[in-house]
Amino acid sequence: PYLIPNEDVGFHFYQSAFFTKLNEGLIKQQGVRMLSAASFGFRCFTNNKKPIKTVDDLKGIKMRVQQNPLYMTMVRSMGGSPTPISWGELYSALQQGVVDGQENPLGVIYDTKFYEVQKYATVDNHVLGTNMILANEKWFQSLPADLRQIMLTGAKMGAVAENGKRMFEARVTMVDALRKKGMEVYVPTPAEIATFRKASQGPVMEWLAKQPGVGKELIDAAVKAVKDAEAAIAREANPVK
């Protein structure tokens, strides 16, 4: 959590050698090829109890998470009470008070009308949501070379379009759109974001390092890829003349 600071870095990360290596592993182990990847927005917390401005405000909040131990570790490390609930049951669970809150990108929160059953939103951007276009590797390799190239180009163009749309939502439209629907939307300061990062990043990385097929080496490579992406963006913004 809180590793990727913005959508620009995320998009560079998707094009990195690290991500290419992940794709090679996916092909080898699962027989599935990732044609492209794009962000569908940073995940943010919502709840019905109170504004969440720092990590201390999450204490005691019953937060719906995906049925995934990584997300449970993240919320628990921040003092919240992680509660797995299936996507199909989430709206009614929020409506009935089974849980206090949930976490999803702002565009998803708007599209699913969670503003009808949630009062507060916090734009903490803890995880960059990622959509992938996948293809069976055996089927993909059975195609003529020109069709494979068309598929790769189309998938990458789609990723650029989706990334741009979601970035525009996050930076321009969604905060105001949710406020117009009655939500109180809080955008934390960098110092406040740091409280979330300090509480959660270490425990989550420690948990990941113990998982089969992950390990500390892979985590360190991911962190380096993000730093390299930030450096590349800085060079593009300030080219040497």
The answer on pLDDT for 189 being more than 80 is yes
Q: What is the pLDDT of residues 138-186, one digit of tens each?
A: 999 999 999 999 999 999 999 999 888 888 888 889 999 999 999 999 9
Residue 240 located in a structural domain = no
Residue 228 located in a structural domain = yes
Buried b (16+ CB within 10 A) or exposed e, 86-112: eeeebbebbeeeebbbbbbbbbbbbeb
Buried b (16+ CB within 10 A) or exposed e, 194-231: ebbbebbbeebbebbeeeeeeeeebbeebeebbebbbe
Residue 20's CATH number = 3.40.190.170
The answer on pLDDT for 7 being more than 80 is yes
Query: Rounded to an integer, what distance in angstroms lies between the CA atom of residue 133 and that of residue 151?
Result: 10
Domain hosting residue 33, numbered range: 7-232
The answer on pLDDT for 18 being more than 80 is yes
Q: Please state the rounded mean pLDDT for residues 66-95.
A: 96
Enter the tokens of residue 221: 């490579």
Q: Please state the rounded mean pLDDT for residues 111-118.
A: 97
pLDDT more than 90, % of the chain:
82
Q: Please state the rounded mean pLDDT for residues 214-226.
A: 92
The answer on pLDDT for 240 being more than 70 is no
The Cβ-side half-sphere exposure at 71, using a 13 Å CA radius, reads 20
Long-range contacts of range 219-222, CB-CB < 8 Å, 24 or more positions apart? 221/18, 221/21, 222/3, 222/18
Residue 241 located in a structural domain = no
Residue 239 located in a structural domain = no
Q: What is the pTM of this model?
A: 0.89
Q: How many domains does the chain have?
A: 1
Residue 237 located in a structural domain = no
Residue 28 located in a structural domain = yes
pLDDT band at residue 241 using 50, 70 and 90 as cut-offs? low
With helix as H, strand as E and coil as C, how does 78-139 read?
CCCEEEECCHHHHHHHHHHCCCCEEEEEHHHHHHCCHHHCCCEEEEEEEEEEEEEEEEEHHH
pLDDT at 142: 97
Enter the tokens of residue 128: 């960059």
Residue 238 located in a structural domain = no
Q: What is the DSSP letter of 171?
A: I
Residue 30 located in a structural domain = yes
